[in-house]
Amino acid sequence: MPPSPSDPAASRSTAGAPAAAAMGRSERMVLAAVAALLALLLFWLRGGLHPEEPLQRLARQSPDLAVALTNGRPTLVEFYADWCEACRAMAPAMERLEQQRRGELDVVLLNVDNPRWQAEVERFEVNGIPQLELFDAGGQPVGRSIGARSAPELEALTAALLRDEPLPQLPGVGATSSLPATSAAAQAGPRSHG
């Protein structure tokens, strides 16, 4: 026998049904909105449609060269290009190094294709990339590294800079010296054949 319209139990169950359905719909909408917000947050944290690579992150967050050379910390300057495969391969190790040594060492990236850095490209006679210029805490040049470096090699170079010790003997790494501008060595550039 169906409940009569005057039965209080029947009216409670039918009156509660739309409220329960509305509550379920509201909960689903809230959950969908939270899920959408979490998806957007994850998308944004991963760099959107074009995730930023370590090389671009390092370049974007690197301090100004003049500041780095005068703040009392050793400095590692990398001359790089976005198209350079060796630079891109070395970037994750450089990024880890920068994160581990933040506050102790400045890591500065200068893009050789950016006209803003042309004076520095000429000043440091950049003839191949990646090229690292190494400076002591006083901003004085102590060495140069040409070519890609592995994570252990970067650690060794960094450790020597931080301890103010001679650079490790690695292929393509050498100390810098000041030669008078009139010397034959200073007149013959890295591209000369004379």
What is the DSSP-derived secondary structure letter of residue 169? -
Sheet strands side by side (includes 75-80): 106-111, 75-80, 131-135, 141-146, 173-174
Residue 28 C-beta-side C-alpha neighbours within 13 Å: 6
Q: What is the mean pLDDT of residues 102-118?
A: 94
Span 2-40, pLDDT tens digits = 555 555 555 455 555 555 556 688 888 888 888 888 877
Residue 55 has a pLDDT of 83
Instruction: Check: CB of residue 125 under 8 Å from CB of residue 80.
Output: no
The active-site residue, picked from 55, 59, 68, 84, is 84
The active-site residue, picked from 59, 87, 91, 154, is 87
pLDDT at 185 over 60: no
- Residue 87 catalytic? yes
CA distances from 176 to 82, 136, 160, 167 (A): 27, 12, 15, 11
Burial class (CB in 10 A: 0-12, 13-18, 19+), 133: buried
Nearest to 150 by CA among 96, 100, 104, 103: 96
- Residue 142 catalytic? no
Band (76; pLDDT cuts 50, 70, 90): very high
pLDDT at 104 over 50: yes
CATH of 54-179, one of 3.40.50.880, 3.40.190.170, 3.40.30.10, 3.20.20.70: 3.40.30.10
Instruction: Check: CB of residue 110 under 8 Å from CB of residue 55.
Output: no
Q: What is the mean pLDDT of residues 105-131?
A: 94
Structure-token pair, residue 136: 């002591």
Residue 49 has a pLDDT of 56
Contacts of 38 (CB under 8 A, 6+ apart): none
